Chain A
Amino acid sequence: MVLLESVSTMDFIGTKLVDFLTYTGFANVAWANIIMIAVGAFFIWLAIKKDFEPLLLIPIGLGIILGNIPFKDAGLEIGLYEDNSVLNIFYQGVRLGWYPPLVFLGIGAMTDFSALIANPKLMLIGAAAQFGIFGAYMVALALGFEPNQAAGIAIIGGADGPTAIFLSSKLSPNLMGAIAVCAYSYMALVPVIQPGIMKLLTTKAQRQIKMKPARQVSQTEKMLFPIVGLLITTFIVPSGLPLLGMLFFGNLLKESTKTTRLAKTAGSALNDIVVMLLGLTVGCSTQASEFLTWNTIFIFIIGACAFVVATASGVIFVHIMNLFLPKDQKINPLIGNAGVSAVPMAARISQNEGLKADPHNFLLMHAMGPNVAGVIGSAVAAGVLLGFLS
């Protein structure tokens, strides 16, 4: 009797163990999952070993791994796309587009617009670099994407991750994972992509142009900038309100001098929390079944074109501006690349390339002008695309 009971218990344990095994990742794994896990590991390696944007690539890399852990679809409420799962709750910030404005709040609270206010003509470089977006739009249309999908992909050319997520969540939600990963990947690869194009489009003499030091900007001007900027941009493009509103709000917190505590929180703790959740959930959204498609490959190709066009158009636009500027006010074309809104990486590249051409030429503060103008420009471009196509 006891023997029979123990046999039945063993059967029970055996059945349950076999059942349990069907739930494990080993039983559900597919080659696509392995590939995506390798991609996630590669991102983490890039971030740690090569120091490519670790703040972005580590959450995204781990998110890719997390999103591709295979499991049995048994309603356990654990997957990113399953209602009520923790990851799904985090993902709402991406899906409904409220992480990007919060990131913009942090960017606004951290950004010093002095360089732009001191030399406002640098704003035009930030506008010119947005050609990258529309170059990519044309390429995407040529590859057969619908206008709304093409717009979602094209915004990668703005080199602005939060804007890319915001726009793609509205216009082409099915491509958002690929677009976000592509945008952040290329932003991390800015130091690899931009210098070659900058050198190709400039002569050594042009790279050695020394710019006049910027004038001192008063606190009144700094305080006025977010208010005037908000009014002008959002009156023209109300659809950019979530991004532009938060950007200028963050900046006003910083510059008002009365809300330093709020600015500090928006630019540090809050921003870090949102970046962590954003990176992780964007990474998770790249589940193999959704991500490993021809569309993703096309998006990466278009993204590369967008970055090249954006960088080139910024540099070329400086050449055009120099045709009309007096000799003592010429702009170093190496700051043209900073028109893309990858802040402050693009400006840092201008600085590095400038130092290579002339060790006494410091371009960082000059490059910050077009760089922050690029943030405004890409948010405006996103607003216009949203207005036209939503």
Chain B
Amino acid sequence: MRKLLSIVSFLIASSAAMAQGAHDFKLNEVFVLGCPKQCTAVDDSGYVSPAIAESCPKPEFYVDEYAQPASWIEIENTSYSTHDIRNCFLTINPAVLDKNMSAPEREKLMSVIPAGDPRTSIGAKQRITFFADGHTNRGTLHLNFTLPVGEPFTIYLFDGNAVDLLDSVRVEALPVGSSYARLDEGKWQVLEADKVTPNAPNVTYNNDKIKEFKEKDPHGIAMTLMCMGVVFSCLILLFVFFHIFGWAMNRAAKLARVRAIRAIHEKAERVVEMAKQGTTETKGIEMENYAAVIGMALHEYFGGTHDLESGILTINQTPTTWADKSHELRVTPQHHQAN
């Protein structure tokens, strides 16, 4: 039973840990590669022909390992620990939301993030960018679909079981060169071409706390008051708890002692009563033992109990008979005379 309980708890703990890791992945930024209408350099898959692109305006695009610009989807690990996004799924096909669809059927409609590539392990607060170019043969970071240009769509990020939806975002038709990015508190906003941040944070985080303390508390008085307040709060709470608990423990111990003494007294009273009545019924116990028990009970009853002690240790000499030196000596030392 114990083993079973341990295994169940371990499984619950580990499944919670896995889920926690996956749920920390959030879609972070989306970019759709498009060109002005007069430009024909981009084909349906978003591929830009370098030769024809010469005639196009040249905005700066984030390019893949083949130096090709493409639409991309950035995912952030929002936690403070490293998680691997392998085996998760990305898609823009809304059919996957059909709850009656089985997981294998749903998997067929999505692009899986392959295992076996160290790049899919994303560090704390780090990002990974996938190219939506339809060329999965180009590597782990390439998806099997493209993002539609000039029309809205929704991106879905599914967990490795193809059932749990981790995150989704609806993207409206974006201006050329712009991206759609998640900013503070999960709000999404269109970023202009010069503010697009592939593989980089959408918001620059500064440690403003230090600056704020420097400006508003230059002498450290506020810090002292706040910190000492917290330190005192912690220790006062502990003090209160153990003060009350100590009192309760003392009280419980005293009650237990009183109960024990009362029980002895009651027993002794019963025995005294029996002795007074001259009862000779010993219920099978030998008379000598019975008499000894009565004697012991009477002794305790008439002052032999030692359940309440002063608890004081002293080195002051106090006259007690047990410490009497005369008890350690023979009353009259005798000589052993040789025969």
* Chain A contacts to B: CB under 8 angstroms: 116-118, 120-121, 123-124, 126-127, 130-131, 133-135, 137-138, 141-142, 146-148, 150, 215, 217-218, 220-221, 224-225, 228-229, 232-233, 236-237, 373, 376-377, 380-381, 384-385, 388-390
> Given A117-B242, A121-B239, A381-B227, is A141 in contact with B218 using a C-beta cutoff of 8 Å?
yes
Cα–Cα, bound, A119→B271 (Å): 43
Q: Which of A117, A121, A384 contacts B231 (CB 8 A)?
A: A384
Q: Is the CB of B223 within 8 A of A232?
A: no
CB distance from B202 to the nearest CB of A (A): 22
Q: Which of B213, B219, B230, B246 contacts A117 (CB 8 A)?
A: B246
> Given A236-B230, A389-B210, is A127 in contact with B235 using a C-beta cutoff of 8 Å?
yes
What is the interface of chain B mostly: helix, strand, loop, or mixed? Answer: helix
Cα–Cα, bound, A324→B253 (Å): 29
Cα–Cα, bound, A232→B239 (Å): 11
Chain A residues closer than 8 Å to B97, beta-carbon distance:
none
Q: Is the CB of B223 within 8 A of A137?
A: yes
> Given A118-B246, A147-B210, is A388 in contact with B223 using a C-beta cutoff of 8 Å?
yes
Q: Which of B210, B213, B231, B241 contacts A127 (CB 8 A)?
A: B231
Cα–Cα, bound, A215→B237 (Å): 21
Q: Is the CB of A377 within 8 A of B243?
A: no
* Chain B contacts to A: CB under 8 angstroms: 207, 209-210, 213-214, 217-221, 223-224, 226-228, 230-239, 241-243, 245-246, 249-250, 253
Apart from A137-B220, A225-B242, 10 more pairs, CB < 8 Å = A118-B246, A124-B235, A124-B236, A134-B228, A137-B223, A217-B246, A237-B234, A385-B223, A388-B226, A390-B209
9 A–B contacts from the bound complex (CB under 8 Å): A120-B238, A121-B243, A127-B232, A147-B217, A218-B253, A229-B238, A232-B241, A384-B227, A384-B231
Q: Is the CB of A236 within 8 A of B214?
A: no
Q: Which of B226, B243, B249 contacts A384 (CB 8 A)?
A: B226
Chain A residues closer than 8 Å to B237, beta-carbon distance:
232, 236
Chain B residues closer than 8 Å to A148, beta-carbon distance:
210
Q: Is the CB of B239 within 8 A of A123?
A: yes
Q: Is the CB of A124 within 8 A of B219?
A: no
Q: Is the CB of A138 within 8 A of B220?
A: yes
Chain B residues closer than 8 Å to A147, beta-carbon distance:
210, 213-214, 217, 220, 223
Q: Is the CB of B235 within 8 A of A385?
A: no
> Given A127-B231, A233-B234, is A215 in contact with B246 using a C-beta cutoff of 8 Å?
yes
Chain B residues closer than 8 Å to A126, beta-carbon distance:
235
Cα–Cα, bound, A73→B138 (Å): 44
In chain A, what residue has the closest Cβ to B209?
Answer: A389
Q: Is the CB of A134 within 8 A of B243?
A: no
Residue of B210, B221, B233, B243 most packed against chain A (CB within 10 A): B210
CB distance from A212 to the nearest CB of B (A): 11
Q: Is the CB of B235 within 8 A of A377?
A: yes
CB distance from B97 to the nearest CB of A (A): 38
Cα–Cα, bound, A232→B227 (Å): 16
Cα–Cα, bound, A134→B227 (Å): 8
Chain B residues closer than 8 Å to A373, beta-carbon distance:
235
